[in-house]
Each structure stands twice: as C-alpha cells, then as structure tokens.
Amino acid sequence: MARSSMTELIARVRLAIGDPSGAAQTFTDDHLQMFLDARRVLARYWRLEAHPDNALASPQYLLYTSLYQNWESDGKLYTADNVEITPAASDWLNGQWTMATSTLPPVYIVGKVYDVNAAAADALEAWAAALATEFDFSAQGESFSRSQKSKRLFELAQQFRVRQFPLTVEQARLDLE
C-alpha cells in the first residue's frame, strides 16, 4: 500500500502521464510510488530561503521556500538550534511553508524531494514496453494501427526526460594517485 505522505505526488504523476485513477488505470499507486522512490533525493538539513515581510518596522519572517518542488509530506522543519517547528501552512508540492509567527532564519528541512519528471518518464517507458508487442493489422478491408500507442508513449517519455534533474558524475584519474 502506498504511503499516505505520497498521495499528492502520485496524483501529480498520474496527471502528467494521463493515467487517471480508477478501474481503467494502468498503474497502481504502489507502482507509481516505486517509480517515484527510484527518483528520490534525501534532504538532510537543507537550508530554506527566508522571505522577510519588510512592510513593518521590524521584518517578519513568515514565508520559507525551497529551490526544489515535489516534497513528500512527511518532512520536518528545524531552527538553527535543531528545534522542530510546525508551520501554519505547508505546500509540499511547491516547496513553501508559512509560519504562524515570525521565525528567524535559518530554517532547515529534513525530508525527501522527488524528481517527478524522471518518474513520469520511467512510468511512460514501462507502459510503452508493455505495449510493444501490439502490432498493426488489416481485416476485412479495414486497417488497425495499434503499434502507434507505444511509439507515442516513448515520445512523451522523452519530453519528460529533458525536464528531469540533471545528473552529475564524478571522475577520478587513477594514474595520478
């Protein structure tokens, strides 16, 4: 059973790949969670950006944001003293948290952020692979083109691939050691 903290992320992937939940869905929530978990990045005390409200005599620090979107909703926020704080409002999909009272920076987050574009591409490629055995045929003077669905899913997957997080690789020269 998919984690309840993944509900919004799974819904976002479903919408992106055109697989609405229900009787005709292609993927279960567990399958989509599996694709998302493969594209998870663990955040350990990442600093959030403070957005002070300077309209008052002394700035109020109510809004904090992340450079990343698509957070799992089980994350935690902490002050510089490592005290957990609970925001008044949390927008995990967009990476925004609003405090009830002014909270001086820095504020840190511990949680998991997901590359939804890469997960969507993975799901679309799996879907296309499952349909790859379908073929075109003609019968009684009519022509049926079933192979095009797999091709279109692969094309759509490529559109998501160009939007996924960039990958980096470290290289080491062994001849210099």
- Report pLDDT for 170: 84
Answer yes or no: is 174 within a domain: no
- Report pLDDT for 66: 98
Last residue of a domain, one of 70, 97, 114: 114
- Report pLDDT for 81: 95
- Report pLDDT for 122: 98
Last residue of a domain, one of 94, 114, 134: 114
Answer yes or no: is 175 within a domain: no
Residues 31 and 95 in one domain: no
- Report pLDDT for 134: 67
Residues 158 and 96 in one domain: no
Bridge partners (DSSP) of residue 68 are none
- Report pLDDT for 13: 98
Residues 12 and 48 in one domain: no
- Report pLDDT for 131: 83
Residues 131 and 97 in one domain: no
pTM confidence score: 0.85
Residues 109 and 47 in one domain: yes
**Residue 75 CA from chain centroid, whole number:** 14
- Which stretches of the chain score pLDDT less than 70? 134-136, 146, 177
Range of the domain at 156: 4-39+115-166
